[in-house]
């Protein structure tokens, strides 16, 4: 759902996922909507102006009816367009297209903050916009039967918008249909019609472990999933109960390992296929100067032929590529989720496939002795000596005089992935503890219309005013750039605090105490389980031992939130709370914001995320939140710095980013870091032009706040 409004020369566009697009024009005249544009859009808006300004983005221009396009030079050279009829693709947070007739010039501002489309005279322009998020189309009902689950996974692949290598772009993979449990298999006719048959089969044993683990590969390849008992006797020369990837009409039958080694085979196949698609798609109309593209020549792959090939031919070529030949170039995988392999978990599969998460079976072991402390210190930015860096016991705590709930934490066996989710029993560290309710709650919030992001900061202990003042200031500053309503409240009673969670807030930041009875108020404690319904989309319970209260908020209606496992030091809570707030309002997901924030303190493992940790409160100016690590080089003849840029998102897998340094000419796939040696002046320029969190000198800063330190 798209909504738009005009304020003077500014057009504000918002979607159901709280994403925002601001377009400004010189003496902008808006004539309404309804005009057609040859691109998939949710709405069109007719405007007249001689100049349009968009947030920084990748831009392509196409003459109408011509497939080859022109990309705006990432290094900053303007793109002149001679008189013709054009469609211009602008890759902003809300996907944007311009259609117009005549000449134009597309350029970036000197600070790389904006894209400017200018015309020699006032021109009528059709602006098409499309929400990047899509709701599931239909629901599949499945009984407690592995063959039925296999058929459901087959039909979830019908949500792809293309079967070519462009499916590696996140905008061309739709949300799979929902799954609900029932007594018989029911697949809507519209989903059956939408499901392609590419002649690719994935045959797996009839057990939930194998089906769940192979689901991401089947979904991405749009393979037909069948169980081994269904195809027994239809093949020869292979173990009948071994999983296999088949392309029958090409005589290809790849035998895969059984569980648990099947997890490794699936991971390698999916990562290889996805990566090679990202390289091959580069010869298509949306290609760019990709740093990794030279690998195709070394692999002797004909990208032009493979781009136009059918899925069977392309997959057959990929299977011939040894994994060892590309392993060192693969981007880090963005997300892995550990799922209890049982019928009750099947409803979560569409949400995990929408994020293209790897799916693994959960395994844990107990933490021993000082292991939790040691693991916390390993992640601490400063990397101090573990003995001298331990927190001072006499420091002020955030616990009240009451009893704090204790949590039995276990150590998960984590496989590959930047971010890890847990959909199983136990409370592990280093992952977000999700729940089926969280994913369904997210869909409900997406359906709600909202003019602005509503944030409520609650201070229920005046001695913690330091964090309250810091985070309130952060939210208010951000509200000057995005549509945010920020309210603050102090010393709320149980009834008043209950109303805060029951009201329609996008984020509640609670600062205070938590006991076994609930969140502390002047007149007692509020148990989240006592709420009729929680309408706070996300939250941060920055209080001692708030884990169980956070879990209850998810069960009552929230999507995700940050919590603590045990008692926390007050100064640590202030550092984590302030950093988390800043990252959250700049578009970082809940889990990534907390992961960075908790590394500011020595006991960071005391903080965790419950619910869907991939969820973002707001969408920043950039769809791809960026983190950089900055080090001063000691042996350089003049003062130089090594800047390593890391850009990825659990919501935009398959995207790329372009670091804005004076010497860089390449884009990089998200999940691959890029490093640059910069002088002080070059560093200042890049920090000014890049919205990013920067790890420097043992702490974390926002780039726009850090650059003056080097501007001498």
pLDDT in tens, 285-307: 778 889 999 999 999 999 999 99
Q: What is the model's pLDDT at position 161?
A: 83
Q: Return the biggest CA–CA distance within the chain.
A: 76
For residue 451, the model assigns a pLDDT of 66
Highest mean pLDDT of the ranges 330-344, 373-387, 481-495, 694-708: 330-344
- Tokens 């573990």 -> residue: 386
pLDDT given for residue 388 in this prediction: 35
Higher pLDDT, 162 or 458: 458
Please tell me the predicted confidence (pLDDT) of residue 271. Answer: 98
Contact, 254 vs 318, CB < 8 A?
no
Q: What phi, psi does 389 have (nearest 5°)?
A: -90, -5
Query: Which stretches within 121-237 are classed as H helix?
Result: 146-156, 189-194, 208-221, 228-231
Q: Is 162:220 a contact under the CB 8 Å cutoff?
A: no
Q: What percent of the chain has pLDDT over 70?
A: 91
Q: In the predicted model, what is the mean pLDDT of the chain?
A: 89
CA atoms of 175 and 163, how far apart (whole Å): 15
Q: What is the mean pLDDT of residues 119-147?
A: 89
CA distance 192 to 194: 5
Q: Above 60 in pLDDT, residue 235? A: no
End-to-end CA distance of the chain: 48
Give residue 44's pLDDT.
92
pLDDT of residue 392: 38
Q: Choose between 621 and 144: higher pLDDT.
A: 144
Cβ neighbours of 88 (radius 10 Å) = 26
Q: How far apart are CA 230 and CA 204, in angstroms?
A: 10
Q: Is the pLDDT of residue 373 over 90?
A: no
pLDDT at 239: 64
> Among 98-102, 158-162, 432-436, where is mean pLDDT lowest?
158-162
Instruction: Name the pLDDT band for 380 (thresholds 50, 70, 90).
Output: low
Whole-number Å distance between alpha carbons of 13 and 17: 12
Task: Retrieve residue 688's tokens.
Answer: 């000014």
Which one, of 533, 532, 537, lies nearest residue 508 by Cα?
537
Comparison of pLDDT for 449 and 529, the residue scoring more = 529
Q: What is the pLDDT of residue 652?
A: 80
Residue 9 has pLDDT above 60, yes or no: yes
By CB atoms closer than 10 A (0-12, 13-18, 19+), residue 249 is exposed
What whole-number percentage of the chain has pLDDT above 90?
65
Specify the DSSP element, H or E, that contains 379. helix 371-379
Given a cut of 70, whether residue 623 has pLDDT beyond it is: no
Average pLDDT over residues 12-19: 75
Residue whose tokens read 């519209």:
190
Q: What's the CA gap between 463 and 632, in Å, rounded? A: 38
Q: What is the pLDDT of residue 394?
A: 36
Task: Decide if pLDDT at 112 tops 90.
Answer: no
The whole-number average pLDDT for the span 186-212 is 94
Residues 6 or more apart from 555 whose CB is under 8 A from it?
435, 437, 529
Evaluate if residue 467 carries a pLDDT over 70: yes
Bridge partners (DSSP) listed for residue 421? 337, 432
Q: pLDDT higher for 75 or 180?
A: 180
pLDDT class of 18 with cuts at 50, 70, 90: low
- Average pLDDT rounded to a whole number, residues 501-524: 96
Q: Give the residue with greater pLDDT, 603 vs 176.
A: 176
Look at 39-43, 495-499, 578-582, 637-641 and tell me which has the smallest mean pLDDT: 39-43
Confidence of residue 557 (pLDDT cuts 50, 70, 90): very high
Confidence of residue 385 (pLDDT cuts 50, 70, 90): very low
Q: Is residue 569 scored above 90 in pLDDT? A: no
Say which range, 13-22, 266-275, 419-428, has the weakest mean pLDDT.
Answer: 13-22
Give the pLDDT of residue 401: 60
**Contact (CB, 8 A) for 569 and 448:** no
The answer to whether the beta carbons of residues 58 and 96 sit under 8 Å apart is no
Task: Provide φ and ψ at 509, rounded to 5°.
Answer: -110, 100
For strands 453-459 and 507-511, give the pairing. Answer: parallel
Q: pTM for the whole thing?
A: 0.86
pLDDT of residue 399: 60
**Measured between alpha carbons, how far is 187 from 191 in angstroms, rounded to an integer?**
7
Alpha helices in 93-169 (DSSP H): 146-156
Instruction: Round to whole Å and give the CA distance between 252 and 310.
Output: 15
Cβ(558)–Cβ(539) under 8 Å? yes
pLDDT at 390: 38
């Amino acid at each position: 759902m798209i909504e738009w409004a005009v304020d003077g020369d500014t057009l504000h566009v918002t979607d159901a996922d709280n994403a925002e697009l601001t377009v400004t024009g010189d003496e902008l005249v808006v004539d309404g909507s309804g005009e057609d544009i040859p691109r998939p859009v949710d709405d069109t808006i007719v405007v007249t102006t001689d100049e349009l300004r968009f947030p920084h983005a990748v831009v392509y221009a196409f003459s109408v009816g011509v497939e080859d396009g022109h990309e705006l030079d990432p290094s900053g050279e303007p793109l002149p367009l001679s008189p013709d009829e054009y469609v211009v693709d602008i890759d902003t947070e809300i996907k944007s297209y311009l259609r117009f007739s005549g000449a134009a010039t597309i350029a970036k501002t000197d600070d790389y903050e904006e894209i400017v489309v200018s015309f020699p005279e006032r021109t009528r322009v059709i602006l098409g916009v499309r929400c990047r998020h899509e709701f599931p189309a239909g629901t599949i009902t499945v009984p407690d039967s592995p063959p039925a689950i296999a058929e459901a996974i087959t039909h979830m692949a019908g949500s792809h918008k293309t079967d070519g290598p462009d499916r590696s772009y996140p905008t061309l993979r739709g949300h799979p249909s929902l799954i609900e449990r029932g007594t018989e298999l029911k697949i809507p006719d519209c989903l059956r019609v939408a499901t392609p048959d590419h002649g690719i089969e994935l045959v797996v044993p009839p057990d939930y472990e194998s089906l769940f683990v192979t689901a991401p590969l089947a979904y991405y390849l749009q393979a037909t999933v069948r169980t081994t008992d269904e195809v027994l006797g239809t093949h020869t020369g292979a173990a009948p109960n071994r999983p296999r990837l088949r392309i029958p009409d090409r005589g290809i039958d790849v035998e895969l390992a059984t569980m648990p080694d099947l997890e490794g085979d699936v991971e390698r196949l999916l990562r290889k296929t996805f990566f090679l698609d990202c390289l091959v798609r580069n010869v298509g109309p949306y290609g760019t100067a990709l740093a990794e593209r030279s690998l195709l020549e070394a692999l002797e792959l004909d990208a032009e032929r493979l781009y136009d090939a059918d899925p069977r031919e392309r997959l057959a070529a990929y299977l011939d590529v040894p994994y060892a030949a590309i392993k060192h170039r693969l981007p880090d995988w963005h997300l892995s989720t550990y799922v209890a392999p049982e019928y009750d978990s099947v409803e979560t599969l569409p949400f995990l496939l929408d994020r293209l998460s790897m799916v693994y079976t959960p395994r844990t072991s107990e933490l021993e002795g000082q292991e939790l402390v040691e693991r916390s210190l390993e992640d601490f930015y400063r990397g101090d000596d573990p003995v001298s860096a331990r927190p001072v016991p006499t420091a002020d705590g955030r616990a009240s005089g009451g009893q704090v709930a204790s949590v039995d934490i276990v150590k998960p066996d984590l496989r590959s992935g930047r971010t890890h989710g847990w959909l199983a029993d136990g409370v592990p560290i280093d992952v977000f503890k999700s729940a089926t309710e969280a994913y369904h709650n997210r869909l409900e919030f997406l359906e709600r219309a909202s003019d602005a992001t509503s944030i409520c900061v609650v201070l229920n202990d005046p001695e913690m005013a330091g964090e309250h003042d810091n985070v309130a200031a952060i939210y208010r500053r951000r509200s000057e750039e995005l549509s945010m309503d920020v309210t603050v409240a102090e010393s709320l009673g149980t009834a008043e605090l209950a109303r805060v969670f029951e009201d329609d807030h996008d984020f509640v930041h609670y600062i205070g105490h938590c006991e076994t009875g609930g969140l502390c108020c002047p007149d007692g404690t509020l148990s989240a389980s006592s709420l009729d319904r929680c309408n706070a989309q996300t939250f941060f319970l920055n209080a001692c031992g708030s884990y169980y209260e956070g879990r209850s908020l998810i069960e009552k209606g929230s999507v995700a939130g940050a919590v603590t496992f045990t008692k926390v030091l007050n100064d640590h809570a202030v550092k984590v709370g302030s950093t988390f707030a800043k990252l959250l309002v700049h578009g970082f997901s809940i889990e990534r914001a907390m992961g960075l924030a908790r590394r500011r303190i020595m006991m960071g493992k005391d903080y965790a995320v419950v619910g869907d940790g991939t969820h973002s409160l707001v969408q920043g100016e950039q769809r791809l939140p960026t983190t950089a690590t900055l080090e001063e080089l000691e042996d350089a003849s003049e003062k130089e710095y090594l800047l390593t840029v890391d850009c990825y998102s659990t919501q935009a897998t398959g995207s790329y980013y372009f670091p804005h340094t004076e010497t860089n000419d390449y884009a990089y796939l998200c999940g691959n870091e890029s490093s640059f040696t910069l002088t002080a002046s070059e560093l200042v320029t890049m920090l000014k032009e890049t919205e990013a969190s920067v790890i420097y000198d043992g702490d974390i800063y926002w780039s726009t706040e850090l650059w003056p330190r080097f501007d001498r």
